Amino acid sequence: MPPPPVEFAILAAACRFNKPLTVLRRLGVLGPPTVRRNAAEAFVPSPFRQVVVQSGKLLGTPRFCHTTAGMSECLPDVYASQVLNVLKSTSADNADLSGVLHQFMVHMDEDIILMVLQKQRSNWQVALAFFNWAATLPGYAHGSRAYTEMLDILGRMKKVRHMRQLFDEIPEERRQVVVTNKMFAVLLNRYAGAHKVQEAIEVFYLRKDYGFELDLVGFQILLMSLCRYKHVEEAEALFREKKDEFPHVTKSWNIILNGWCVKGSLRDAQRIWNDIIASKVERDLFTFGTFINALAKNGRISAAVKLFKQMWEKGINPDVAICNCIIDQLCFKKKIPEALEIFGEMNDRLCQADVATYNTLIKYMCKIKRMEKVYELLDDMEAKGCSPNNRTYSYILKTTEKPKDVIALMQRMERSGCKLDSDMYNLILNLYIKWKYEKGMQQIWDEMERRGSGPDQRSFTIMVHGLHSQGKLDEALQYYTTMKSRGMIPEPRTKILAKAMHMKKDGSAAEDDSASMAGKHLKLDHRSRLFNVHR
């Protein structure tokens, strides 16, 4: 086997030292740090993560990382975490980071810079200071991803003047590489979010100066941004005004229709719907779904159902989201037979019901105590491979009347692979307290602790209020004291109740004396994990 190339030998030797970059620079192999976002990569031996050797020069990110666990400090996310730790102790108005971040200079690339910026989204001043510091690194220039992220941070924090200044200061020779359609979409969205409609429109037309076409897709992004922040009236006016530039296609109509629906103006949504019909533009699934949802949410369920059935007549099969909307509103209006009819039609037309469909029906069937239908639906969803979730079972649990019904349902949950969460445990705990089923209460409490699902603040609150309602003041106060000892903050109503119980027991006017009971007054019961009070 021929000896390895000299570059590989130098590289392997250098990586045996703690600071391989320093060794390579002294040998003259590596010049000043260079970072290029899309640097080419050549094949290198497996012990190295990223090294490109060509004509005696190293290209790309100057980062040499052995893949063994001992060199894990070379990972980008580790460097990013270290930078973030430094920034945490940095004043927000400290624009000079060269001193505190000097140690990270040789490791910086756009991936690390992007990770740091994404973790500083709510701290725009530090993010901008870091961004400006990174721009001064030798051989490095921000790429499109870093610029776009920084612009988005400034826009999200309503610093649109800084956002525009940063955009305008992109070096002219870098614009072709850095400025992208995504960047313009961020600018449009953030101007609209800051309620600067005219500036958003101007930025759209600025695309032309940067070599982008004023195309329909870009115009639709502008309309969506305006509608997202409730500037629907301005979006519609622009949509109609620019009809000659941008034809009225279905998607553009949908954006305006959805804007009015989201804003809650059914009258305007109805007007746009009529205009769509008059325009002879083909209505698609989104058009129907948007308007049906608006009608249903505004109580016009009959009109929504009529339109829903028109879809099938026109050969447009509603998706499961539209069906769920209709079924939910029919059930809400207590038109359960009609909801079941729609549910049956879904099966006939091969529109597969999902867990939300079944949950809606089960919820309302439980309310009217039609338990035979509830279990029929539960069997049906399991047979069709639609796994019930905690919400499904919680609706049914609330209808149970005996502990044995709860146990049977818990066994069914276990068979179906549905794990009990803290909300489910608390629901069962509440039922057992209501039924005064002490053995079950203890079993659920122990199981919560064993599985790590509680008991949480809600569990203790249930026990305190439940035991108080049964006249068991000593036990209720034990739970209250234990809750406080575990650092949980009682709800105001629980504090008032504890004060009332103390006053009733010994006439104390204190809000609670759990603090004074810490230490010698408490003894841990290892079975119940509660602190018992010993005066």
380/222 Cα distance (integer angstroms): 45
Q: Indicate the number of domains in the chain.
A: 1
Residue 75 falls in which region: left (phi positive, over 0), alpha (psi -120 to 50) or beta:
beta
Q: Is omega for the bond preceding 138 within 30 degrees of 0, making it cis?
A: no
Residue 489 belongs to what domain range? Answer: 420-507
Q: Positive or negative CA dihedral for 335, 338, 343, 349?
A: negative
Q: Where are the alpha helices (DSSP H) in 333-368?
A: 336-348, 355-367
Does residue 412 belong to any structural domain of this protein? no
458/426 Cα distance (integer angstroms): 7
Nearest to 468 by CA among 444, 500, 441, 445: 500
Across-strand partners of 48?
66
Does residue 187 belong to any structural domain of this protein? no
Reduce the secondary structure of 376-419 to three states and give it as a string: HHHHHHHHCCCCCCHHHHHHHHCCCCCHHHHHHHHHHHHHHCCC
517/523 Cα distance (integer angstroms): 10
Question: What is the CB-side half-sphere exposure of residue 69 using CA atoms within 13 A?
Answer: 0
Does residue 535 belong to any structural domain of this protein? no
For 194-295, strand residue ranges (E) read: none
Burial degree of 238 (CB within 10 A; 0-12, 13-18, 19+)? buried
Across-strand partners of 57?
54
- Give the pLDDT of residue 95: 52
CB 24 within 8 A of CB 30: yes
CB 220 within 8 A of CB 189: no
User: In a 3-state reduction of DSSP, which class is residue 113?
Assistant: helix
Does residue 449 belong to any structural domain of this protein? yes
Task: Output the CA angle 390-395-396, nearest 5 degrees.
Answer: 100
CB atoms within 10 A of CB 511: 12
Does residue 344 belong to any structural domain of this protein? no
CB 434 within 8 A of CB 466: yes
492/183 Cα distance (integer angstroms): 48
Residue 428 falls in which region: left (phi positive, over 0), alpha (psi -120 to 50) or beta:
alpha
Place of tokens 């622009």: 238
What is the separation of C-alpha 196 from the centre of its chain, rounded to a whole number of angstroms?
Answer: 27
Task: Output the CA angle 350-356-358, nearest 5 degrees.
Answer: 70
CB 393 within 8 A of CB 405: no
User: In a 3-state reduction of DSSP, which class is residue 513?
Assistant: coil
Does residue 451 belong to any structural domain of this protein? yes
Does residue 454 belong to any structural domain of this protein? yes
Reduce the secondary structure of 78-90 to three states and give it as a string: HHHHHHHHHHHCC
- Give the pLDDT of residue 275: 96
Does residue 436 belong to any structural domain of this protein? yes
Nearest to 11 by CA among 53, 73, 69: 53
Q: Name the strand (E) or helix (H) holding 57.
A: strand 57-58
Question: What is the CB-side half-sphere exposure of residue 89 using CA atoms within 13 A?
Answer: 6
- Give the pLDDT of residue 22: 44
Taking only the tens of pLDDT, the chain with its 535 residues reads 444 454 444 444 444 444 444 444 444 444 443 333 332 333 233 333 333 333 333 333 333 343 333 334 457 778 788 888 788 776 655 556 766 777 777 778 899 889 989 988 888 988 998 899 888 888 889 999 999 999 999 999 999 999 999 999 999 999 999 999 999 999 999 999 999 999 999 999 999 999 999 999 999 999 999 999 999 999 999 999 999 999 999 999 999 999 999 999 999 999 999 999 999 899 999 999 999 999 999 999 999 999 998 888 888 889 999 999 999 999 999 999 999 999 998 888 888 999 999 999 999 999 999 999 999 999 999 999 899 999 999 999 999 999 999 999 999 998 888 888 889 999 999 999 999 999 999 999 998 888 887 789 999 999 999 999 999 999 999 999 999 998 898 999 999 999 999 888 775 444 455 444 443 344 445 554 554 544 4
Structure tokens given for 407? 């146990």
CB 392 within 8 A of CB 361: no
Structure tokens given for 294? 């608006």
